[in-house]
Amino acid sequence: MAPLPPESPAYGAGQDRVLARKPLWRRYGIAVLVVAALAGGGVWLMWSRGTPAYKVPVGQLTIATVREGSFEDYIAVRGALAPYLTAYLTTEQGGTVKQVLVEDGAMVKAGQALVVLSNPALQLQVASQQLAFEQTRLKYEQDLLDIDHKLSALKSDLARDKILLDGNALAPSTYQQEQEEYNYYLKLRDATIASRQVEQKVRTTQLTGDTSGKTDLANAGVEALTIRAPMDGQLTALDAQVGQSKPQGSILGQVNSADRFKLTAQIDQFYLGRVADGQEARFSVDGRDYRAHVAKVYPQVVNDDFKADFYFDDAPPPGMHIGQSIDLKIELGGAAKAMMLPNGPFYQDTGGNWVFVVTPDGRAAVRRPVHMGRKNPDNVEVVDGLRPGERVIISGYEAYPKVDRLILENNNSAH
C-alpha cells in the first residue's frame, strides 16, 4: 500500500502539531521600544533642563542676592609697624670680634663705638703703609726745604743785582734770567705742596676710607676695625660674639630710628597697577581711627606679592612695637553706585566669568556667564549678566566645575 501524501488528513493523526517560531523582533520589539522610550525621555528631560545636572543639599551652599548700593573700592591688607629709617652696620674690613661694647636693643648715639674687630694682618699692613707715608712726607719736607733755600738765595741775588742793573753795571738779560729762575722755583714750591696734599689724601683714603684727608693715620687701623653707630636710634639684630670671624662686608646688625615709624605691607600682585603713591589707608587701634598714605610702591614681585610703604598722616598709635601687625584698608577709588554681589569662594573658582543662578522656584540653579568688575573683601561689582533681586550661589564651585545645572535638595543626601 502506497504511503499517504503529506496533505492527507490522515498524516500525523494522533500527534501534536509543530508550530513555527516567531521572529525576534516580534518577541522583544515591544520591550525594546518601551526601554528606548524611557531612556530617551530621561535623556531629553535632562538635556532640556541644562545638562549635566547634579544634586546638592541646600544646606551645603551659601546663597546671596544681587543688590544695588554704594560700592567702596578698597582692598584689605595686613601691615606691620617698621622703623622709618634703618642703617646697617657693615664691616669695612674683615676680622675677629674682639669686643662687643653694647647689647642688642640698646639706644645708641651717632658715632658711638659698638663692636671692635681684631685683624693683625690689616694692622701690620696699616703700619707698613703708615711708615711708607712718613717716608714720603719726610721727602716732601726735604724737597720744600731745598726749594725754600734756593728761593732765599735767588731773592738775595735779585736784590743785589737790581742795584747793579740800575747803575748800568749788569746786563738786563742776566737780571731777567735770574728773575725767571726765581719764578720757576716759586711755581715748583706750590706744585710740591699740592702734590703732598694729594698724596696724603690718597693714602688716608686707602687706610680708612675717609676722603676728607683729615683722619689721624696713627689711629687708622683702629678706626677701620671699630664699628660705630651711623645715626641715633635703637640697635637691633646684633650678630657679633667675641671670637667670631667676620669677613669684609658682613652685616653685624642695624640701627633703627627710634622716634619715627612707617607701615609696610605685602599686597597681592593683582593690585600692582592699582596701588599708587598718595592713596589713603585707614586702620583702627584700640577703637581709635587712624590714617596713613602710600609712600612708596616696590614693583618687584616675590611669591605673588609686592611691597608697599605707608607713612602716618599724624602721630602713630601709642604703645606700638616694631613688627606689630595692623589691618589696613587701602582706598583705590571713591564710593560709587553699582550693582553688587557679596564676595565669596565662587570668584576664586570661576574668575568672575560665570555663576550659578537660582531659579525662581528655588528648586535648581543654572550656570550663567557674567561679567564682574571691581571687588573688595565684602562685595564684587556686577557689570553684566545679573539683575537686582536674583539669587546666586556664592560658595565654592570646586565640586562641580563642568556642571551646567544643580538640583537643590532640602535633605542631606547628595548624588
Give the confidence band of 340 by pLDDT, cuts at 50, 70, 90.
Answer: very high
For residue 343, give the nearest of 385, 304, 374 by alpha carbon: 374
Give the confidence band of 236 by pLDDT, cuts at 50, 70, 90.
Answer: very high
For residues 209 and 144, state if they share a domain. Answer: yes
Report the alpha-carbon distance of residue 342 to residue 339 in Å, rounded: 10
For residues 107 and 238, state if they share a domain. Answer: yes
Residue 34 lies in a domain: no
Whether the pLDDT of residue 165 is over 60: the answer is yes
Give the confidence band of 364 by pLDDT, cuts at 50, 70, 90.
Answer: very high
Give the model's pLDDT for residue 233.
Answer: 92
For residues 187 and 321, state if they share a domain. Answer: no
Count up the domains in the chain and report the number: 4
- Region 189-202: mean pLDDT is 84
For residues 229 and 217, state if they share a domain. Answer: no
More confident residue, 220 or 122: 122
- Region 405-412: mean pLDDT is 82
Residue 405 lies in a domain: yes
Residue 3 CA to its chain's centroid (Å): 113
Residue 1 lies in a domain: no
Report the alpha-carbon distance of residue 308 to residue 263 in Å, rounded: 8
Residue 16 lies in a domain: no
Q: Is the dihedral of CA 48, 54, 55, 61 positive or negative?
A: negative
The CATH code of the domain that includes 361 is 2.40.420.20
Residue 18 lies in a domain: no
- Region 224-229: mean pLDDT is 89
Whether the pLDDT of residue 4 is over 50: the answer is no
For residues 346 and 391, state if they share a domain. Answer: yes
For residue 182, give the nearest of 228, 149, 207, 150 by alpha carbon: 150
For residues 315 and 388, state if they share a domain. Answer: no
The letter for the amino acid at 324 is Q
The CATH code of the domain that includes 110 is 2.40.50.100
| Mean of per-residue pLDDT scores for the chain | 83
* Cell 743785589 belongs to residue: 160
Taking only the tens place, the pLDDT of each residue in 279-296 is: 999 999 999 999 999 999
Residue 307 lies in a domain: yes
Residue 199 lies in a domain: yes
- Region 315-319: mean pLDDT is 87
For residues 149 and 185, state if they share a domain. Answer: yes
Whether the pLDDT of residue 127 is over 70: the answer is yes
Beta carbons within 10 angstroms of residue 7's beta carbon: 6
For residues 187 and 128, state if they share a domain. Answer: yes
How buried is 392 (Cβ within 10 angstroms: 0-12 exposed, 13-18 middle, 19+ buried)?
buried
b/e map 201-237, b = 16+ CB within 10 Å: bebbeebbebeeeebebeebbebbbbbbbbeebbbee
For residues 278 and 361, state if they share a domain. Answer: no
- Domain of residue 395, residue span: 53-71+336-409
Of 331, 365, 394, which closes a domain?
A: 331
Residue 41 lies in a domain: no
Strand partners, 236: 254
Beta carbons within 10 angstroms of residue 322's beta carbon: 13
- Region 139-147: mean pLDDT is 90
Give the model's pLDDT for residue 203.
Answer: 67
The cell numbers describing 404, all together, are: 551646567
For residues 99 and 166, state if they share a domain. Answer: no
Strand order in the sheet with 86-90: 86-90, 251-256, 233-236, 107-108
The CATH code of the domain that includes 311 is 2.40.30.170
Whether the pLDDT of residue 199 is over 60: the answer is yes
For residues 146 and 215, state if they share a domain. Answer: yes
